[in-house]
Amino acid sequence: MDNSTAEKGSPGQEQQAAGVGILLQIMMLVLSFVVGHVLRRHKFYYLPEASASLLIGLIVGGLANISDTERSIRAWFNFHEEFFFLFLLPPIIFQSGFSLSPKPFFSNFGAIVTFAIFGTFIASVVTGVLVYLGGLMYLMYKLPFVECLMFGALISATDPVTVLSIFQELGTDMNLYALVFGESVLNDAMAISLYRTMSVVRSNDPSGQNFFMVIVRFLETFVGSMSAGVGVGFTSALLFKYAGLDIDNLQNLECCLFVLFPYFSYMLAEGLGLSGIVSILFTGIVMKHYTFSNLSENSQHFVSDFFHLISSLAETFIFIYMGFDIAMEKHSWSHVGFIFFSILFIAIARAVNVFSCAYLINLVRPAHRQIPSKHQKALCYSGLRGAMAFALALQSVHDLQEGHGQIIFTATTAIVVLTVLLIGGSTGTMLEALQVVGDGHDAHLGEGFEGNNGYVPTSHEEDETTGNKLRMKLKEFHRSAASFSEIDRNYLTPFFTSQNGDSEDEEDDPMPSSRRGVYHGHS
């Protein structure tokens, strides 16, 4: 039977093929949830759920490749990145913003912003420059400089799903959890903004657009999207505060509205030519902090379960699809050198990013709140690449010509698979070796929540004057961050929420299972 005719069969056949394709996807989803559950029950940390989904995708893709049904299945497995960016990514990103627990997040806010914005910038530039230099030295395939920077930007989006789930299982220091989580959440936004900026630069004027315009363009994307997201979040908070929807019989309506707002912010930003992902992320953070406490209790449970469910479905689906895609795509494996060296360069860039930012942060923080070196190593290690990098790489296939996009896509896919399988699998072992998991950390959980507002300057005078100037500048920044939480407590929270006691504190627990008693001692 000739494949080409089979693919363009009668409408009935096409419908049947669609059914088979979707059935396959559903079976793979079910299988990976079951496998993930079994692995969890037996506390088998060497194969986290994300890796299991990837492997299932790989196996099924491999089988489909061997059999001759390849073309017809392909037709139904071929996603457009529109589908990816419109349906799969938003729930994941929103959930990550929504599940941020405000207290540890805001008490480490300065550090998280430093890692996510400054650090991601460093990482992507370092990666881009190294890849370009590697091309010049004939170590790997030579890409134009702007495209190297685009590759650097898309590959610097970390996605430590596996690391975080292991953190939750084994229990770890609150501040470390907040750092890893906050950084991964915000740096997706940063990576997208950088990628967009670079592709605009590339399409406009390759000759040498001035640096200043690039920065303006980036700020436009980032700040614009962020303010759109925050605006929508605050609007939703006011709506739920004054509309009086928390009567019993309106619960359905309340939930529907709450679920629509994130998408509204996403589409608003996309319509304005900004980044929807960045916007939906900040909507998630704001809605968790303000809107959530205006909901009736049943709706609160429903909404948090609902977003959790959707995002885990989407995430599993993305990993399965990645595995499937690797098995099916005609990848240009001729560029093994490119893949090998880019993995090396990414590791270097990640280390530069983490240690330089941690150095800056430790200049400011008092002695008892320094980021210890084992936390820095854990941070460095948890830079897995995931869904975000894959989605941007899919887009780069369309953005770049002459097969460059294909090379970047192949390299990214390989990097995602390797980091998820190798790093994800060895995380449990590594964290135990660094002694950042386990229960020896109860003493540290509360510090940094209270010790934040009354900021204690370090007593002993430090070295040379330039260092002092820098330190004073950073301290000013730190004070303003502390005063932000004061403003939040005294003005924003009363204005945007209907005050029903201290109920938000109950919802703040990011590690529901292991830490409940300890955590509430400090809230």
Query: Euclidean distance between the first and final Cα of the chain, in Å?
Result: 68
pLDDT at 497: 76
Strands (E) across 399-509 are located at none
Q: What is the pTM of this model?
A: 0.74
Query: Beta partners for 134?
Result: none
DSSP code for 373 = H
pLDDT (tens digit per residue) in 109-135 = 788 888 888 888 888 888 888 888 888
- What percent of the chain stands above pLDDT 70? 76
Distance, in Å, from the CA atom of 179 to the CA atom of 245, rounded to the nearest integer, reads 36
Res 76: pLDDT: 63
Instruction: At 211, list the tokens.
Output: 């640096």
Residue range 73-98: mean pLDDT, rounded: 76
The C-alpha R_g of the chain, in whole angstroms, comes to 24
- Give residue 459's pLDDT: 35
Predicted confidence (pLDDT) per residue in 190-210, tens digit: 888 888 888 877 777 655 556
Q: For residues 329-350, give the mean pLDDT.
A: 77
Q: Angle at the Cα of 316 (from 310 to 317), degrees rounded to 5?
A: 85
Q: How many other β-carbons are positioned within 10 Å of the β-carbon of residue 25?
A: 18
Looking at the predicted structure, is the pLDDT value of residue 456 above 70?
no
Q: Is residue 242 packed enough to be buried (19+ CB in 10 Å), middle (13-18) or exposed (0-12)?
A: exposed
Pair of tokens at residue 310: 């959707």
Q: Which residue has the tokens 């229990």?
A: 171
- Gap between the Cα atoms of 88 and 82, Å rounded: 9
Domain ranges of the chain: 36-434
Q: How far apart are CA 341 and CA 329, in angstroms?
A: 22
| CA neighbor of 282 nearest in space, from 121, 105, 83 | 105
Amino acid at 44: F
CATH 1.20.1530.20 fits 36-434, yes or no: yes
Closest C-alpha to 409, from 393, 392, 398: 393
Name the DSSP class of 58.
H
Tell me the backbone φ, ψ of residue 385, rounded to 5 degrees: -105, 145
Contacts of residue 403, defined as CB under 8 A and 6 or more positions apart, other chains included, come to: 332
CA atoms within 13 A on the CB side of 21: 20
> Which of 125, 128, 133 has the alpha carbon at shortest distance from 147?
128
Token duo for residue 309: 């469910």
**What's the angle, vertex CA 86, arms to CA 385 and CA 225, rounded to 5?**
80
Rounded Cα distance, 248 and 293, in Å:
16
Mean pLDDT over all residues of the chain?
75
- Cβ–Cβ < 8 Å for 105, 56: no
With H, G, I as helix, E, B as strand and everything else as coil, classify residue 344. Answer: helix
